Amino acid sequence: MSRESLEARLRAIGAERYHDKHPFHHRLHGGDCTPDQVRAWVINRWAYQAAIPMKDAAFMSRVYDPAIRREWRSRIEDHDGGIAEGGGIRRWLKLAEAVGLDPDYVASGRGVLPATQFAVDAYIRYVRDMPLLQAVASSLTELFAPKIHERRIEGLLAHYEFANPESLSYFRKRLTEAPKDVAYGLDWVLTHADTPEKEDMACEALIFKTNVLWAQLDALWGAYVEPDRIPPGAWRPGEGLI
Ligand SMILES: O=C(O)c1cc(C(=O)O)c2c(n1)C(=O)C(=O)c1cc(C(=O)O)[nH]c1-2
């Protein structure tokens, strides 16, 4: 298979399975979420945000080639940032505050749904334990992220009072960060998936990752859109507010 046809296969996986298709996102971006459903999304998505630099550190701990580590380390810097200016994690907490949540409560990780935690932990473990090809390929959902970030900025600005350039700065910044990361990751996968077996492995990794993302939204829908389904220990409306 050529590089072009593997790339087409990866993109077809996104077209079918990326979480922009999930009904929770349609609801969020279309202005149909209640304030508590938005809060539940911010609290649970925090678990994903917090896991990203950990999985990137897990990845780097396995790589012997300094050239790859040099490319990869900006991912950690993008999220953690420096002491003074912070990074994506701090920008996420700005969003938390804007929707009326205490940022310390959100950053504590309390109230995250069990299924969300299982999904993000599975992502960290996958990147730590699987062949490097699959560890890299699992990040390629970011091929599809700029489109959903643009849609989210537009949808939130149109429908919710909390939305403004400051509260949404996380997504705006990702519009320039993600394409740089994914260009490197995609090229690496297309170069290293040089047998039919490895091509299948890369595709399986991307499917795994779309499942990690989908499962988080299924968990949100189950707990906060369906009535009376919040699991024990998970965030309940009224908790963790400013
Ligand atoms: O808002 C989204 O829908 C979304 C999706 C994804 C993704 O596709 O995994 C990431 C992000 N955002 C994101 O902001 C981010 O920093 C990020 C890093 C990664 C990764 O797997 O390394 N995915 C994503």
Per-residue pLDDT reduced to its tens digit, 109-161: 999 999 999 999 999 999 999 999 999 999 999 999 999 999 999 999 999 99
- Name the β-bridge partners of 86: 82
Residue 142 in contact with ligand 1 by CB distance below 6 A: yes
Residue 139 in contact with ligand 1 by CB distance below 6 A: yes
Question: Residue 53 — pLDDT band, cuts 50, 70, 90?
Answer: very high
Mean pLDDT of the chain: 97
Q: What is the dihedral of CA 86, 53, 41, 183, to 10 degrees?
A: 100
Q: What is the pLDDT of residue 1?
A: 73
Cα 177 → chain centroid: 13
Q: Tell me which residue of 146, 142, 139 sits closest to 175, measured CA to CA.
A: 146
Atom of ligand 1 nearest to the CA of 123: 21
ipTM surpassing 0.95, yes or no? yes
Tokens in use for 233? 């220990």
**Which residue in the block uniquely carries the two structure tokens 């749904």?**
113
Residue 218 in contact with ligand 1 by CB distance below 6 A: no
Task: Please enumerate in sequence order all residues whose Cβ is within 8 A of that of 103, keeping only pairs 6 or more positions apart, or say none.
Answer: 93, 96, 97
Q: What is the pLDDT of residue 188?
A: 98
Residue 174 in contact with ligand 1 by CB distance below 6 A: yes
Residue 52 in contact with ligand 1 by CB distance below 6 A: yes
HEC secondary structure over 31-88:
CCCCHHHHHHHHHHHHHHHHHHHHHHHHHHCCCCCHHHHHHHHHHHHHHHCECCCECH
What domains lie within the chain, and their CATH numbers?
A: 3-225 (1.20.910.10)
Our mutation pick for probing the ligand 1 site, out of 142, 143, 206, counting the most ligand atoms within 8 A of Cβ, is 142
Tokens in use for 211? 């499942």
31 has a pLDDT exceeding 80: yes
Tell me the C-alpha to C-alpha distance, in Å, between residue 193 and each of 33, 61, 141, 231.
Answer: 41, 22, 17, 41
| Burial letters 181-192, b for 16+ CB under 10 A, else e | bbebbbebbbeb
104 CA distance to ligand 1 middle (Å): 22
Tokens in use for 2? 């050529």
